Every structure is written in structure tokens, then in C-alpha cells.
Amino acid sequence: MNSFLTVAEVACALFPDTGRRNALRRFRYMLKTDPTLWNELTEARFRAHQRVFTPQQYAILVRYIGEP
């Protein structure tokens, strides 16, 4: 696991059939519509327009949606 994956890299891995901008939009929507995931990420100091995941934030994400 790369300790500093960008949000765009994860979004593009999850939504490979779309462009970067749309992948980011869909990814952020996905995060915000899962209240449990969103709350845990924000408790780990994730912010809506953050560009890079910390290792802790990435671990939370993987626990909920799996490895992108």
C-alpha cells in the first residue's frame, strides 16, 4: 500500500470508465452518501476537498469499500 495515495488516484481506480473530474465527483458523492464511512473519515480529519489520503484515512476507506 502506498502511504500517500491521492484522492484522484483512488477515484479513477474506482470509476475507470469516466474522466478524472467525473470520477472525483462520483467518488466524493459516494463518500458523503455513506454516513458511517463519512463520519469515520471526518473523525480521521478527512476534508471534502482534500487531495491526499493519510495512511489512516486510506485504511478506513479500504475497510469499507475494499482495495481500489
- Structural domain containing residue 60: 7-65
pTM: 0.84
Instruction: Specify if 1 maps to a domain.
Output: no
* pLDDT tens digits in sequence order for the chain, 68 residues long: 445 789 999 999 999 999 999 999 999 999 999 999 999 999 999 998 899 999 999 999 999 998 88
Instruction: Specify if 26 maps to a domain.
Output: yes
Q: What is the count of structural domains for the chain? A: 1
Instruction: Specify if 52 maps to a domain.
Output: yes
CB 67 within 8 A of CB 14: no
pLDDT of 5 reads 85
Amino acid identity of 28? R
pLDDT of 24 reads 95
